[in-house]
């Protein structure tokens, strides 16, 4: 088991082939997840975040195809593996956690069958040892009386418990990388925090986590880095705290000012006008320009590549760090991050004006 490899995705391009046209759903997406690090993929529905992950896992529907790029896990390009080889990677080297455990777990099998399946299928250990590990993992994820609960079916558990069971299933093989697709969207806030703390333990043991989310609070709490996706492309790539303190791309700041936050009643709610584009009619140039209040003619004409962004540390955006009264020491932390962490943004205006 390679339990300390990083996942490097480079120029990933995924297309869906429809009857009369080809849609590019993921366009030149690159990122790296180091062991023990967590990357947030932030974006709204239809931005391509789930498809990008399914491309890496090679779980695209029949109409989808990877049209270019690489996804290397510890030196192996996953996109070049045969289906047979890929099956050895899924579940063992890369685990997955989904939003809805009721749909992701098999309703006709007990937890024991589902939790030991990976271990047995990959030939990691024998049945007795598999059961021992499964019980242990169930206990680790905070399910009371794991010896007893392992004999139950998913429908006999509450929503929070089912989500824990699914995380246990992904954890049992101690994968190098865990892909979590909105793992806490369907659960209550108190459970959400418990689940994230649970995933943090996995991270501490060296697993790299990719978390797909549209909740910036979750991203801030759990992740180290983030990429922001819009219409299939990465529009911003940054360590998470500087990203939230000074969003560089207009879409990122739009997401930020659309997000309601407890204890910030005074902050004006400024929704982004319009709705995300239909990929069949992707606006030319920067796909966000029709909704962007800073757009100029050039934005609709030129594609915007991701370029390094250094920003301006003293130029605090209203309503972010300065006004939220975060302790000064922490603010310095963010600044430090900002100096060391690489930031990239796909907006010429942001690059020019900082």
| Long-range Cβ pairs for the range 184-193 (8 Å, 24+) | 184/213, 184/215, 184/218, 185/99, 185/213, 185/214, 185/215, 186/99, 186/100, 186/159, 187/159, 187/160, 187/163, 188/160, 191/159, 191/160, 191/163, 192/218, 193/221
Comparison of 35 and 250: residue with beta carbon closer to other proteins: 250
CB of 150 to other proteins, least distance (A): 22
Comparison of 92 and 343: residue with beta carbon closer to other proteins: 343
Question: Which residues from 75-104 bind other proteins, rule CB under 8 A?
Answer: none
108 and 50 Cβ atoms separated by less than 8 Å: no
Instruction: Decide: is 269 part of the binding site for other proteins (CB under 8 A).
Output: yes
CB of 32 to other proteins, least distance (A): 25
One residue of 8, 87, 215, 290 binding other proteins per CB under 8 A: 215
The two tokens of residue 193 are 């925090």
One residue of 85, 330, 332, 336 binding other proteins per CB under 8 A: 330
Question: Which residues from 33-62 bind other proteins, rule CB under 8 A?
Answer: 44-45
One residue of 82, 108, 275, 312 binding other proteins per CB under 8 A: 275
One residue of 10, 67, 142, 221 binding other proteins per CB under 8 A: 221
Strand segments, DSSP code E, in 18-63 are: 22-33, 38-42
Sign of CA pseudo-dihedral 338, 343, 346, 351: positive
Pick from 348, 320, 350: which is nearest to 241 by CA? 320
Instruction: Decide: is 270 part of the binding site for other proteins (CB under 8 A).
Output: yes
Comparison of 107 and 271: residue with beta carbon closer to other proteins: 271
Instruction: Decide: is 283 part of the binding site for other proteins (CB under 8 A).
Output: no
**Residues contacting residue 138 through CB under 8 Å, at least 6 positions apart:** 111, 115, 146, 149, 150, 164, 165, 168
Instruction: Decide: is 325 part of the binding site for other proteins (CB under 8 A).
Output: yes
Stretch that binds other proteins, among 94-102, 136-144, 170-178, 313-321 (CB under 8 A): 313-321
95 and 178 Cβ atoms separated by less than 8 Å: yes
Q: How many residues bind other proteins (CB under 8 A)?
A: 44
DSSP 285: S
Sign of CA pseudo-dihedral 193, 197, 202, 208: positive
Instruction: Decide: is 214 part of the binding site for other proteins (CB under 8 A).
Output: yes
The string of DSSP letters for 227-239 reads EEEETTEEEEEEE
Report d(CA 257, CA 118) in Å as an integer: 43
User: Number of C-alpha atoms within 13 angstroms, CB side, residue 196?
Assistant: 23
Binding mask 7-26 for other proteins (x = CB under 8 A): --------------------
Q: What angle do CA 195, 199, 201 make, to 5 degrees?
A: 120
Comparison of 46 and 208: residue with beta carbon closer to other proteins: 46
One residue of 21, 62, 84, 265 binding other proteins per CB under 8 A: 265
Instruction: Decide: is 276 part of the binding site for other proteins (CB under 8 A).
Output: yes
CB of 352 to other proteins, least distance (A): 25
CB of 163 to other proteins, least distance (A): 12
One residue of 11, 126, 136, 188 binding other proteins per CB under 8 A: 188
CB of 299 to other proteins, least distance (A): 18
What does the buried/exposed string (b/e) look like for 4-23 if buried means 16 or more CB atoms within 10 Å of the residue's CB? ebbbbbeebbbbbeeeeeeb
The residues of the shown chain that bind other proteins, judged by CB under 8 A, are 44-45, 159, 188-193, 196, 214-218, 220-221, 244-245, 254-256, 258-265, 269-273, 275-276, 319-321, 324-326, 330
């Amino acid at each position: 088991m390679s339990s300390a490899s990083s996942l490097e995705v480079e120029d990933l391009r995924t297309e869906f082939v429809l009857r009369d046209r080809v849609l590019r759903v993921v366009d030149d997406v690159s990122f790296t997840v180091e062991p023990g690090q967590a990357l947030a993929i932030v974006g709204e529905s239809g931005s391509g975040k789930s498809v990008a992950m399914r491309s890496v896992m090679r779980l695209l529907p029949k109409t989808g195809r990877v049209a270019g790029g690489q996804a290397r896990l510890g030196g192996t390009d996953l996109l070049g593996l045969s289906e047979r080889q890929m099956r050895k990677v899924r579940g063992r080297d890369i685990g997955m956690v989904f939003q809805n455990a009721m749909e992701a777990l098999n309703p006709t099998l007990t937890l024991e069958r589902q939790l030991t399946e990976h271990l047995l299928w990959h030939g990691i250990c024998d049945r007795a040892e598999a059961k021992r590990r499964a019980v242990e993992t169930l206990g680790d994820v905070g399910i009371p009386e794991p010896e007893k609960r392992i004999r139950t079916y998913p429908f006999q558990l509450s929503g929070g418990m089912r989500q824990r069971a699914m995380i246990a299933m992904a954890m049992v093989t101690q994968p190098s990388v865990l892909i979590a697709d909105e793992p806490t969207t369907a659960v209550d806030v108190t459970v959400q925090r418990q689940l994230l703390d649970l995933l943090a333990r996995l991270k501490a043991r060296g697993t790299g986590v990719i978390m797909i989310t549209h909740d910036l609070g979750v991203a801030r709490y759990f992740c180290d880095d983030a990429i922001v996706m819009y219409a299939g492309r990465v529009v911003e790539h940054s360590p998470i705290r500087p990203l939230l303190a000074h969003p560089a791309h207009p879409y990122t700041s739009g997401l930020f000012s659309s997000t309601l936050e407890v204890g910030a009643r005074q902050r004006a709610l400024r929704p982004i006008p319009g709705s995300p584009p239909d990929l069949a009619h992707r606006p030319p140039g920067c796909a966000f320009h029709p909704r962007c209040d800073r757009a100029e003619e050039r934005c609709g004409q030129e594609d915007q590549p991701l370029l390094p962004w250094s920003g301006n540390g003293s130029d605090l955006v209203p309503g972010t760090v300065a006004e939220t009264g975060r302790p000064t020491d922490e603010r310095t932390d963010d600044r430090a991050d900002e100096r060391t962490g690489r930031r990239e943004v796909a907006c010429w205006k942001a690059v020019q004006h900082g």
